[in-house]
Structure 1
Amino acid sequence: MIKVGIIGGSGYTGGELIRILLNHPKTEIDFVYSTTKAGQPITNAHEDLLGVTNLKFSGNINPEVDALFLCLGHGNSAKFLQENTFSKNTKIIDLSNDFRLAKDAIFEGKEFVYGLPELQKEAIQKANYIANPGCFATAIQLALLPLAATKQLENDVHVNAVTGSTGAGVSLSATSHFSWRNNNASWYKPFTHQHLGEINQSLSGLQQSETSLLFLPQRGDFTRGIFATAYTKYNGSLEEAQQLFKNFYKDAAFTQVSDKEIHLKQVVNTNQCHLHIHKHENLLLITSAIDNLLKGASGQAVQNLNLMFGFEETEGLHLKASYF
């Protein structure tokens, strides 16, 4: 058993992380740190855990834990690590965007590895510090990595992706409350989303040239999940593309290529990414679906934990989709 600490456990990603780790056969939650809820039962914030745990939020930190998850807002992880010191043996997984880009990856002597297992499994297994990918970034990269790896992203890539309201975080905002979000649809941050940096970093590294990615994120009137479609010019046949993707992901624990069209309910409440390939004339369409809070955040963070500690990659992540 390894002892695990969580910083910022009252939000959506923190809640999902607690749920997974409570049922993980090789982890014990040592503390869930909160500056605003210290001393309160965790079930006050995560009511579905009533009867599952008696843990309380802590105002204290154990610097000797084996693993630490940072579930803080973007920009706050770096500040937290500047103000708090942990054992040199503590492995850290950050769920913010503070260390995802190469220019930010080395921080106060710590070298953060970008934690997309389908791209960097061997590096993750050797790492002490992980920058967990963003949710949109995960869905989009998994849709495009096989093409980039074979230098076939030579033309513009158009991406549309719709996300559930949990992607906006637990705090109420003008575009996340029920009356606005329900029966509604809208786009935001057109062509400028913050995840583009990490996506382009991975794709250009494989493609060995800059990739033109035109990304339009959209808000959906559902709570969780990301449904992304990406299309670009492609010279090969549909069968060649399908085989390319299946070969690329043949050893991936959680990324599946479906011959049938996919939909969001297949992956919600799981750590899976489902992909489907379609060809129309000279355009290749790749559809990608994930749960933004699991494969797009906490589930992938635990997947990285498993790789770092030499556990089975799927340990604690055998989750059932909410299919009905």
Structure 2
Amino acid sequence: MINVGIVGGSGYTAGELIRLLLVHPKTKIDFVFSTSRAGKPVTSVHQDLLGDTNLEFSSEINPNVDVLFLCTGHGNSTKILQDFTVSPGTKIIDLSRDFRLADNNSFGNRKFIYGLPELQKSAISDADNIANPGCFATAIQLALLPAAHISALENGIHIHGITGSTGAGSSLRDTTHFSWRDNNVSIYKALDHQHVGEVTQSLTQLFPDYNSELNFVPVRGNFSRGIFISAYTESDLSLEQAQSLYEEFYADAPFVHLSEEPLHLKQVVNTNKCLLHLQKENGKLLVTCIIDNLLKGASGQALQNMNLMFKLDEKTALQLKATHF
């Protein structure tokens, strides 16, 4: 059995991770660390797990677990590794953005591999430390990587993305308050979102001469979970050529699927799937992409990475049904 530790146990991503690990046939949760909830039942926060676990939040970190998931806020993973001893033999999967970029992907002797399985499955399988991608970054990359693979992103890229309120985390803030969010949408961090750096890094990995402008406008949606991305760029590819390109690129990606029909978000909520739809109009290739921000955009992808690191089937504990109705 893989002995698992979780730090930052009271947030949304930790709750989803615990849910998945409890049904994973090869894992045992050693501890769920939380400074604010120590000694209280995990179900006092993650009430959807009532009846599934008797775990309590821990005030201590076992440094010798097989794998440690850091489900902390951005900037806090570095602090955790500074303040607590972790065995050199413990693998780490970090869900913050602390180690995602190549110019800041190390802590001491630990080097973090960027954990997008559809881009570098082999490197993940050999890694001891993973920087889990951001939710928006995951969806945008999966929409664009096949085109980057054949250097077909020479023109400007325009991206519109809408995300649910869980993408902002579990802490209360003005823009997650029900009265504000309900029946409302708003733009934030337009053309300056923190995930653009991740996307550019990966596109350049496949297309070294990539220097096109990436215009991303993120939007807060009035729903709880999910991300819907629409990206378009001028392209000489026919629709048939684009479909063949995407199908070939994702042939070994069990969670990425092309749809012949237009997408809607309920197809992926509660799953680790990414669904894509391609359209060609007036010389532009339009790619729509949908994921669950808490699963394929966070905890599901983290578990997929763990499966690869421990040489398990990457689909283990991740074959989930969408909440379609």
Q: Which structure 2 residues correspond to residues 47-196 of structure 1 after superposition, within 5 A?
A: 47-196=47-196
Contiguous gaps of at least 5 residues in structure 2: none
Q: Distance in 2 between matches of 1:201 and 1:48?
A: 37
- Secondary structure of residue in 2 paired with 1:54: coil
1:231 positional shift: 0.1
Q: Distance in 2 between matches of 1:219 and 1:34?
A: 28
- Secondary structure of residue in 1 paired with 2:231: strand
Cα deviation, 1:275-319, whole Å, max 9, x if unaligned, reads: 000000100000000000000000000000000000111001111
- Secondary structure of residue in 1 paired with 2:266: helix
Q: Distance in 2 between matches of 1:17 and 1:314?
A: 14
Q: Distance in 2 between matches of 1:120 and 1:177?
A: 38
2:240 aligns with: 239
Higher mean C-alpha displacement, 245-254 vs 206-215 = 206-215
1:177 positional shift: 0.6
Alignment check: 8 A CA contact 1:204 1:211 kept: no
Higher mean C-alpha displacement, 215-224 vs 101-110 = 101-110
1:203 aligns with: 203
1:323 aligns with: 324
Number of residues of Structure 1 aligned to a counterpart in Structure 2 = 324
Q: Distance in 2 between matches of 1:118 and 1:104?
A: 22
1:257 positional shift: 1.0
1:24 corresponds to 2:24: yes
1:123 positional shift: 0.1
The residue identity in structure 2 corresponding to 1:317 is L
Contiguous gaps of at least 5 residues in structure 1: none
- For normalisation by structure 2, the TM-score amounts to 0.99
The residue identity in structure 2 corresponding to 1:307 is L
1:259 positional shift: 1.3
1:82 positional shift: 1.2
Alignment check: 8 A CA contact 1:200 1:211 kept: no
- Secondary structure of residue in 2 paired with 1:285: strand
1:252 corresponds to 2:253: yes
1:26 positional shift: 0.5
1:211 positional shift: 3.1
Q: Distance in 2 between matches of 1:99 and 1:188?
A: 24
Alignment check: 8 A CA contact 1:4 1:66 kept: yes
2:287 aligns with: 286
Alignment check: 8 A CA contact 1:269 1:322 kept: yes
- For normalisation by structure 1, the TM-score amounts to 0.99
Cα deviation, 1:242-277, whole Å, max 9, x if unaligned, reads: 110001001101111111111100000000000000
1:296 aligns with: 297
The residue identity in structure 2 corresponding to 1:121 is K
The residue identity in structure 1 corresponding to 2:245 is L
1:223 aligns with: 224
Alignment check: 8 A CA contact 1:203 1:211 kept: no
1:270 aligns with: 271
- Secondary structure of residue in 2 paired with 1:296: helix
Cα deviation, 1:86-126, whole Å, max 9, x if unaligned, reads: 11111000000000000111221101000000001000000
Cα deviation, 1:152-206, whole Å, max 9, x if unaligned, reads: 0000000000000000000111111100000001110000000011111001221
Q: Distance in 2 between matches of 1:142 and 1:236?
A: 18
1:36 positional shift: 0.7
1:9 aligns with: 9
1:44 positional shift: 0.4
Cα deviation, 1:206-258, whole Å, max 9, x if unaligned, reads: 11122311000000000000000000000021100011000100110111111
